[in-house]
Amino acid sequence: EVQLVDSGGGLVQPGGSLRLSCAASGFTFSTYDMHWVRQVSGKGLEWVSGIGSGGDPYYPDSVKGRFTISRENAKNSLYLQMNSLRAGDTAVYYCARGVAVLGGSWYFTLWGRGTLVSVSS
Amino acid sequence: DIQMTQSPSSLSASVGDRVTITCRASQDISNFLAWFQQKPGKAPKSLIYAASTLQGGVPSKFSGSGSGTHFALTIRSLQPEDFATYYCQQYDSFPPTFGQGTKVEIK
């Protein structure tokens, strides 16, 4: 079955760290750009990082320097290392498979079910 | 960043109805627009890309239209499984950005 299973969320104190994981199956993981997208409860969606099939990372300014995306193709796995977490990072984090558009960015064709990250003291 | 604005934010409809959701971009994005569906507790599901191209396996009751700054998603003959929240997303520019969502509820 083609799917993404994200995990690793939990409760963390402000300033703390957390590492999210995403296990891919049913498709050739190594050939796809992969991403993390988050959703604050009751609010919209925000793209938080992406990594090309070749390993190049991409970040929006809101998380640059705090979040690190990585992948391990041999394990069909995607990761997000989140440091210096803030209350505003509280959200459900989704792993997503992306399709790149030349000169543009990506649209997302497959999503995980999400993992909840709560940043609170 | 390109701002995406959806309307309405929610709507009530009956089984069998046809509904249309609109999405407006803050600048010209050509046809680099995607739509997807989200149900509570479930993974979002991709419906449409390139403004009007259905993803594989998506029923033809869903259709997308528009280009430039104005787009629409139409759902023909609503069924119980279609009640969900729908989002648009632009991928013309970096970073990709999303609309705030339109919740389709049962009347």
Over the stretch B67-104, which tens digit does the pLDDT of each residue have? Answer: 999 999 999 999 999 999 999 999 999 999 999 999 99
Contact A35, A19 (CB under 8 A): no
Choice among A99-103, A115-119, B15-19 with the minimum mean pLDDT: A99-103
Q: How far apart are CA B61 and CA B102, in angstroms?
A: 18
Q: Band of the pLDDT at A88, cuts 50, 70, 90? A: very high
Cβ-based interface (< 8 Å): residues of A facing B: 4, 43-47, 58, 60, 94, 96, 99, 101, 104-114
Q: Considering only residues 27 to 56 of chain B, which have any Cβ-Cβ distance to chain A shorter than 8 Å?
A: 32, 34, 36, 41-46, 49, 55
Written as one letter, the residue type at A25 is S
